[in-house]
Structure 1
Amino acid sequence: MSFGNNLRTLIEERNMTQKELAQQMNIAPSTIGSYVQNTREPDFATLKLLAGYFDVSIDYLLDYSSGETENHQEDEMLRIFRSLTEEQKNICIEQCRVFVCMNHKKKTKKRKLSS
């Protein structure tokens, strides 16, 4: 995804409008619109402000990966997790533990069947 698409996704996840973001960031609404439409790119200072506002890395905003951490799903999970309440975080952790347990049981069952 491009910077504009990532920014659009972050705005939508917050259930806000481009105009609201522009007001909160003290940026012209037309500038935010240009970013989302991929017709303009922000300067470094604006990138830092946007990354801080949305609690994401600049690399995430720019969709950059050095190859070491190409798993954008992990970045997305972490970003979503950070936006949850403490109660929701605890529920999420418990659900993940259930998934890990299920995967372990499946692997054990496969090993027994192949023996």
Structure 2
Amino acid sequence: MSIYERIESLIKSKAMTKKEFCKELGISTGNLGDWKRGKSSPGTNKLIDIAAYFDVSLDWLMTGREREAVQVHEEREAYAADEPDWIRLSSRLTEREKAFIQEYLEFTEYRRKLKRMGGK
């Protein structure tokens, strides 16, 4: 199932029209048609908006799969006290992984703002 097909199924699940969906999220019907035909894909910010609107994960919207919860049990090694773990770990990431984490952090902040404003 493509991103467009997942978006279409979400629209149907809310019993709304594609026109209503486009109006709600500020998407032109032409762009939606381009997504359907595979001429273009929604940008990152639009995917974040769509995921937040339908209260689904960005992972599911992009891939059709939820990220599996992984339980990690490990003994903590002795690290330099002045270097938090996340800094040490982030230095090992690829640029693509860093970009994904950045998008996720922005998505999380966006959802927090929505909740504070009385949204989902």
Under a length normalisation based on structure 2, what TM-score does the superposition of the two structures give? 0.50
Aligned to 2:51: 51
Instruction: Please tell me whether Structure 1 or Structure 2 has the larger radius of gyration of its CA atoms.
Output: 1
2:66 & 2:24 partners in 1: Cα distance? 31
Distance 1:15 1:66, change over 3 A: closer
One-letter identity of the residue aligned with 1:32: L
> Which range is displaced more, 25-34 or 2-11?
25-34
Aligned to 2:12: 12
Distance 1:38 1:4, change over 3 A: farther
> Which range is displaced more, 4-13 or 32-41?
32-41
| CA deviation profile, 1:46-87 (whole Å, cap 9, x unmatched) | 011000101001111112548736xxxxxxxxxxxxxxxxxx
| CA deviation profile, 1:12-53 (whole Å, cap 9, x unmatched) | 111111111111111111112222343321111101100010
Whether the aligned pair in 1 keeps the contact of 2:3 and 2:61 (CA below 8 Å) is: yes
Q: Which runs of 5+ in 1 are unaligned?
A: 70-115
Q: How many equivalent pairs are there?
A: 69
1:66 & 1:57 partners in 2: Cα distance? 7
Whether the aligned pair in 1 keeps the contact of 2:57 and 2:66 (CA below 8 Å) is: no
What root-mean-square deviation, in Å, do the aligned CA atoms of Structure 1 and Structure 2 show? 2.0
1:23-102 to 2 correspondences below 5 Å? 23-63=23-63, 65=65, 68=68
2:25 & 2:67 partners in 1: Cα distance? 31
Aligned to 1:73: none
